[in-house]
Amino acid sequence: MRPIFDQKTVKNKCEEIQPKFEQLLGGSNVTSVHSKCQQFSCDEGHFTLSVPSLVLSPSSTDQVSAIVRLCNENRVPLVPRGTGTGLEGGAIPVAGGVVLEFSGMNNVLEVNEVDFDCTVQPGVSRLALNQRLRDSGLFFSVDPGADASVCGMVATSASGTTSLKYGTMKQNVKNLEVVLATGRILHTKGAGRRPWKSSAGYNLTELFIGSEGTLGVITEATVNLHPRPLAVGAVVCGFERLDDAVESVVQLRQMGLSLARLEFLDKAQMQNCIDYSKLDDMLPLPTIFLEFHCQTEEDVQGQIKLAEEICISNSSSNFNSSSSHDEIQKLWKARHNAYYATLANRPGAKGFTTDVCVPLSKLVQVLKETEVRLGQLGLNGAIVGHVGEGNFHCIIPTFEDNREEHTAVMQFSDWLVQTALAVGGTCTGEHGIGLGKKRYMADEFGSVGLDVMKLMKTSLDPNNILNPGKIFE
Amino acid sequence: MRPIFDQKTVKNKCEEIQPKFEQLLGGSNVTSVHSKCQQFSCDEGHFTLSVPSLVLSPSSTDQVSAIVRLCNENRVPLVPRGTGTGLEGGAIPVAGGVVLEFSGMNNVLEVNEVDFDCTVQPGVSRLALNQRLRDSGLFFSVDPGADASVCGMVATSASGTTSLKYGTMKQNVKNLEVVLATGRILHTKGAGRRPWKSSAGYNLTELFIGSEGTLGVITEATVNLHPRPLAVGAVVCGFERLDDAVESVVQLRQMGLSLARLEFLDKAQMQNCIDYSKLDDMLPLPTIFLEFHCQTEEDVQGQIKLAEEICISNSSSNFNSSSSHDEIQKLWKARHNAYYATLANRPGAKGFTTDVCVPLSKLVQVLKETEVRLGQLGLNGAIVGHVGEGNFHCIIPTFEDNREEHTAVMQFSDWLVQTALAVGGTCTGEHGIGLGKKRYMADEFGSVGLDVMKLMKTSLDPNNILNPGKIFE
């Protein structure tokens, strides 16, 4: 692949072609003012900032196409950016150049209630979309926590707490409009197509899901919607032993229950949550949180009963359930505030978050080793995760200027990835590769896999202008 | 792309390198006997036969790798073949050359019950796999009707009657081992990896799903398993009007019920089934068949009750339900025998099957037009489909030597594809492109989409040795 760009050359090139962008978009949609560009220099992770030379605000796919064409002709790197809520540096313009921001393309273009789908522009966030859908009886299910843009979630292959029932982004995209490096406009399933399934040709949609802006700029996404559940139930259940909590998780999965969420908080995380949210009725034990999505209240009660039997047979210490909206919110309070509760433990610290995903059969072993390792390194980390899928995060509050601690965190993160890889897992369940996980690509995929990916990249972006420096070393 | 091969040149080349294959595989695993090769000249569709020069029976991935390497070096076309149950000619060796058959690679390599997955070689059929799983409480869900090989189903992007709840092949593959045109062995998710989800790198797994042997030879598939439902219920319900049947389908989907199957048979199909299977208690009406997969009998009853309310509110004529195994089999008899019932209408005829998939909102319109069109062309066709997904088949019994009828069938098939494409659908919901749908690729995807697919093909198989003549004109 073409080597990373020389920042000085890129800067000069940007100055040179800025008038062309202004002509194309109007002056107010092009900025080179440093203080403004600085806002697009980071994401929510822990990476070094990198300020772009230009921030462009297109208002149509045709404008995006013209921008990409210009960048390609002039060998100027270009980074598409959603809400900037990523954690692995995927949206940081490490080579400088142009950042595309999509506040001018924030329309929900179509909602097809009968077909359970809708089409959005890249400026639409998931909460904005669900707000728009509130009267339809449908919802967009993928919930990564942050109010990410839907197209950004496509680019990251995001998931979150509801994937167990409704799938990750990979299972929820019907069609994409993508501007290629040449400026050509691709519809991955053909323009305007929205069949529920198809066996026609290669799966181009999936090629762009998780491609992190390195293969094209996503300018429209047609995504699946789901019927809102008519009855919801929740369970919070603590266990003395981590093994019992995880064994319950496995058995709950095996029962094929209508589980929308199956989350885990370790002892440390629960203690942080209890302190932070003053949850006097909860115990600092390894705890699982369940949410059932059903059609009837009877069904919810049936599912809760089955879950209770499983948890009790695995020596649960306390089992709390509810099917009332307010009660459920209260039960889930600990889970919702997990990140902030752990940060509050060390005021002023920033959070470092890991993201491995391992086969369910290896989860107990990896979780236990993780707790031990955190202790050995003197790190004040806590574990929270989508354990129904084998995906968990360690949240570690850390002071960036503490070199020793920073080294320990990096050492821990590296150890955890290697541990996950050794048991058949992945370095990233849902945050993407970005900058943070590039070094593990060869270990995870081997040289053949990496070569095939690079072949895709060089075929579609021979000049390496699309988000260079990401995914591959 | 490299043009299709000259059959004579290919034949000579095969004769020349046959000794090398014999050395590699042993003489008994290489055949050039015409009568044996003839068995690999067709699938279950209506296409012209094409006999390969050689049929090879490898017993390991390394052997497959050596074979592909030899074919690539000698520019000999190569077609991997599962059970040959395809309908669009995907496995027909139109350029002659080598067919790979996998009876020597028919092991279930691994079953991971806790992780809900298993790994199979390309000679394992879906029924053989489910037989192996019978004591595990788990099952492999994708059910296209025929006893296809699992890896063949990956290559075709198959689905069938249970995709509504459990997904198509696209949602059920965790990892693939693929021999590339160079002979290199790719693991699409990295060797031995089985996480439930991952956001690492490009989705190579999905690139090979539905690639119909044109990008590589699948030598192992790691697929998802699902817990067997503990309670099952079925409904068969007839309607005077097709509109009411389809409106019920939409409403059933909107309720978010635990529907594993949602099938439709039109009036003509029901009449054929009643005649064929002597179903005196059923009526020749547009009819929907439902199957619920639940955990408890109460849940089944609750779902049936909700379904009944919906069907009655849409003027259903008769509503029959059951949750007993034998009763369910009886209810589903009509659906199971649909294909043979329609063929029995015209003894000696072969079945021609269409496969469009349209957005649910367009289904009534397209189904009605289809019935009219069949009548106009004097075709004795019947409709059966996975309507919960907008996918339906017309089964048309036809005599191949009746030129006029053949023309009418082709005219109808073409009209139906164009109609589906015009409403945002696809030419193939689950049978693949193969030979039969190649001509629609440009209409379905447009020139940019087709160009990107061709770029993938030429990147991975520059000599076009892998199943040439398929997918692309």
Q: Which of B190, B195, B452 sits opposite A429 (nearest CB)?
A: B195
Asked, for residue A57, whether it belongs to a domain, the answer is no
Query: Is the CB of B61 inside 8 Å of chain A's CB atoms?
Result: no
Question: pLDDT by residue (tens digit) across A67-114?
Answer: 999 999 999 999 999 999 999 999 999 999 999 999 999 999 999 999
Q: Minimal Cα distance from B156: which residue of A? A: A199
Q: Are residues A237 and A202 in the same domain?
A: no
Q: Are residues B240 and B223 in the same domain?
A: no
**Whether pLDDT at B2 is above 70:** no
Q: Are residues A335 and A371 in the same domain?
A: yes
Question: Would you place residue B1 in the very low, low, confident or very high pLDDT band (cuts 50, 70, 90)?
Answer: low
Smallest CA–CA distance, residue B214 to chain A, in Å, is 10
Residues of B in contact with A155 (CB under 8 A): none
Contact A212, A93 (CB under 8 A): no
Contact B390, B358 (CB under 8 A): yes
Task: Specify the 3-state DSSP secondary structure of B48.
Answer: coil
Residues of B in contact with A451 (CB under 8 A): 184
Q: What is the per-residue pLDDT for B3?
A: 62
Would the CB atoms of A200 and B163 count as touching at under 8 Å?
Answer: no
Query: Is the CB of A363 inside 8 Å of chain B's CB atoms?
Result: no
Asked, for residue B346, whether it belongs to a domain, the answer is yes
Contact A63, A438 (CB under 8 A): no
Asked, for residue B212, whether it belongs to a domain, the answer is yes
Q: What is the per-residue pLDDT for A345?
A: 85
- Tell me which of B157, B198, B220, B293 to substitute to probe the interface with A (most A C-beta atoms closer than 10 Å): B198
Query: Is the CB of A423 inside 8 Å of chain B's CB atoms?
Result: no
Question: Would you place residue A157 in the very low, low, confident or very high pLDDT band (cuts 50, 70, 90)?
Answer: very high
Q: Minimal Cα distance from B247: which residue of A? A: A114
Q: Are residues B281 and B363 in the same domain?
A: yes
Q: Are residues A196 and A345 in the same domain?
A: no
Buried b / exposed e over B291-315, threshold 16 CB at 10 Å, is: bbbbbbeebbbbbbebbeebbeebe
**Whether pLDDT at A212 is above 70:** yes
Question: pLDDT by residue (tens digit) across B107-160?
Answer: 999 999 999 999 999 999 999 999 999 999 999 999 999 999 999 999 999 999
Query: Is the CB of A14 inside 8 Å of chain B's CB atoms?
Result: no
Q: Which of B190, B204, B424 sits opposite A192 (nearest CB)?
A: B424
* Averaged confidence pLDDT in chain B: 95
Q: Which residues pair with B318 in a beta bridge?
A: B238
Query: Is the CB of A343 inside 8 Å of chain B's CB atoms?
Result: no
Asked, for residue A2, whether it belongs to a domain, the answer is no
Asked, for residue A3, whether it belongs to a domain, the answer is no
Would the CB atoms of A256 and B390 count as touching at under 8 Å?
Answer: no
Contact A258, A298 (CB under 8 A): no
- Tell me which of B112, B199, B391, B440 to substitute to probe the interface with A (most A C-beta atoms closer than 10 Å): B199
Last residue of a domain, one of A174, A209, A227: A227
Residues of B in contact with A200 (CB under 8 A): 210, 426-428, 432-433, 437, 440-441, 444-445
Query: Is the CB of B1 inside 8 Å of chain A's CB atoms?
Result: no
* Cβ-based neighbours of B334, under 8 Å, separated by 6 or more: B236, B265, B270, B273, B274, B277, B279, B282, B287, B289, B341
Question: pLDDT by residue (tens digit) across B265-303?
Answer: 999 999 999 999 998 889 999 999 999 999 889 889 999
Average pLDDT over residues A386-394: 96
Average pLDDT over residues A59-67: 98
Average pLDDT over residues A260-271: 95
- What are the tokens at A209? 């899901």
Q: Are residues A197 and A332 in the same domain?
A: no
Q: What is the per-residue pLDDT for B333?
A: 82
**Locate tokens 């749908």: which residue?**
B437
Residues of A in contact with B393 (CB under 8 A): none
Q: Give the ipTM.
A: 0.97
How many Cβ pairs closer than 8 A exist between chain A and B? 307
Range of the domain at A418: 231-423
> Which residues 172-191 of A are in CB contact (within 8 Å) with B?
180, 184-191
Average pLDDT over residues A174-181: 98
Q: What is the per-residue pLDDT for B329?
A: 87
Q: Total structural domains in chain A?
A: 2
Q: How far is CA A1 from CA A211, A242, A453, in A?
A: 16, 46, 11
Here the CATH number for the domain that contains residue A412 is 3.40.462.10
Q: What is the per-residue pLDDT for A3?
A: 62
Query: Is the CB of A220 inside 8 Å of chain B's CB atoms?
Result: no
What is the CB neighbour count within 10 angstroms for residue A421? Answer: 19
Angle (nearest 5°) at CA A409 between A242 and A3: 125
Q: What is the per-residue pLDDT for A439?
A: 97
Residues of A in contact with B298 (CB under 8 A): 298, 302
| Edge-to-edge strand ranges of the sheet holding A117-120 | A108-112, A117-120, A217-224, A173-179, A185-187
Q: Are residues A283 and A396 in the same domain?
A: yes
- Tell me which of A177, A199, A224, A299 to substitute to probe the interface with B (most B C-beta atoms closer than 10 Å): A199
Contact A470, A438 (CB under 8 A): yes
Q: How many Å apart are CA B431 and CA B47, to the nearest integer?
A: 14
Average pLDDT over residues B387-401: 94
Q: Are residues A236 and A356 in the same domain?
A: yes
Q: Are residues B235 and B181 in the same domain?
A: no
Contact B292, B232 (CB under 8 A): yes
Q: Which of B197, B427, B440 sits opposite A159 (nearest CB)?
A: B197
Q: Are residues B336 and B349 in the same domain?
A: yes
Here the CATH number for the domain that contains residue A186 is 3.30.465.10
Last residue of a domain, one of B227, B259, B275: B227
Query: Is the CB of A135 inside 8 Å of chain B's CB atoms?
Result: no
Average pLDDT over residues A411-429: 98
Question: What is the end-to-end Cα distance of chain A in Å, rounded?
Answer: 10
Give the residue, B255 or B455, on which the prediction is more confident.
Answer: B455
**Whether pLDDT at B185 is above 80:** yes
How much of chain B, in percent, has pLDDT values that exceed 70? 99
Of the candidates B341, B339, B319, B344, the one whose C-alpha atom is nearest the C-alpha of residue B331 is: B319
Q: Are residues B238 and B383 in the same domain?
A: yes
Q: Are residues B285 and B353 in the same domain?
A: yes
Query: Is the CB of A471 inside 8 Å of chain B's CB atoms?
Result: yes
Question: Would you place residue A1 in the very low, low, confident or very high pLDDT band (cuts 50, 70, 90)?
Answer: low
Asked, for residue B265, whether it belongs to a domain, the answer is yes
**Whether pLDDT at A161 is above 70:** yes
Asked, for residue B306, whether it belongs to a domain, the answer is yes
Last residue of a domain, one of A402, A423, A444: A423
Asked, for residue B102, whether it belongs to a domain, the answer is no
Residues of B in contact with A364 (CB under 8 A): none
HSE toward the beta carbon, residue B362, CA cutoff 13 A = 22
Q: Minimal Cα distance from B293: which residue of A? A: A256
Query: Is the CB of A391 inside 8 Å of chain B's CB atoms?
Result: yes
